[in-house]
């Protein structure tokens, strides 16, 4: 009943089983391909043509390489673990997981101008309201610019003032 096959791997001939008795190559796919045209066209004995054998071999090779790639990927993490967990665990142990403390923690705010140059006609309450909103007291500016104390009404044009963070309590 079974068509006799030649093993495409080792050349073993007249195999009736689904695998090569010599090299264990799985021949069921080749057998399926070979038996397929017979089932459809019963009269002419379809010969196993070269390109069919080629396709079968191709699929076989793809299957085998996929298998080896799969086991390679599967083995890879194990290899890594083996390398990592070997003899010097002290260097890898997270004794000191904190980052260096001198990294400045910047609040997540849009950058603001930090200084303001006094122009003609400016006065402190106008500057305070310009940067910190309506109803802001001029004292906010004095608070961040202590040099202004006592001459709040006599700021100089061109004088550089520090802009307050606008969170100061006055």
Asked if residue 46 binds Zn ion (CB under 5 A), the reply is: no
Smallest distance from the beta carbon of 61 to Zn ion, in angstroms? 14
Site for Zn ion (CB under 5 A): which residue of 3, 6, 12, 18? 12
Nearer to Zn ion, 23 or 66 (CB): 23
Smallest distance from the beta carbon of 80 to Zn ion, in angstroms? 36
Asked if residue 64 binds Zn ion (CB under 5 A), the reply is: no
Asked if residue 20 binds Zn ion (CB under 5 A), the reply is: yes
Looking at beta carbons, which pairs linking 118-126 to residues 24 or more positions away fall under 8 Å?
Answer: 118/155, 118/156, 118/157, 118/158, 118/159, 118/160, 118/161, 119/157, 120/157, 122/155, 122/157, 123/153, 123/155, 124/148, 124/152, 124/155
The whole-angstrom separation of Cα 142 and Cα 36 is 95
Specify the stretch interacting with Zn ion by CB under 5 A; choose among 10-18, 42-50, 57-65, 66-74.
Answer: 10-18
């Amino acid at each position: 009943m079974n068509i006799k096959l030649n093993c495409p791997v080792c050349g073993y001939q007249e195999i009736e089983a689904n695998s090569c008795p010599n090299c264990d190559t799985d021949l069921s796919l080749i057998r399926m391909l070979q038996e397929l045209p017979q089932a459809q066209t019963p009269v002419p004995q379809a010969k196993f043509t070269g390109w069919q054998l080629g396709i079968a071999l191709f699929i076989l090779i793809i299957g085998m390489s996929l298998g080896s790639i799969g086991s390679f990927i599967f083995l890879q993490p194990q290899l890594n673990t083996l390398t990592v967990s070997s003899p010097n665990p002290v260097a890898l142990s997270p004794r000191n997981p904190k980052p260096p403390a001198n990294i400045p923690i910047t609040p997540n705010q849009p950058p603001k101008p930090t200084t303001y140059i006094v122009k003609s006609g400016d006065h402190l309450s106008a500057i305070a309201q310009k940067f910190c909103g309506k109803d802001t007291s001029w004292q906010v500016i004095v608070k961040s610019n202590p040099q202004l104390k006592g001459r709040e009404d006599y700021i100089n044009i061109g004088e550089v003032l520090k802009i307050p963070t606008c969170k100061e309590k006055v």
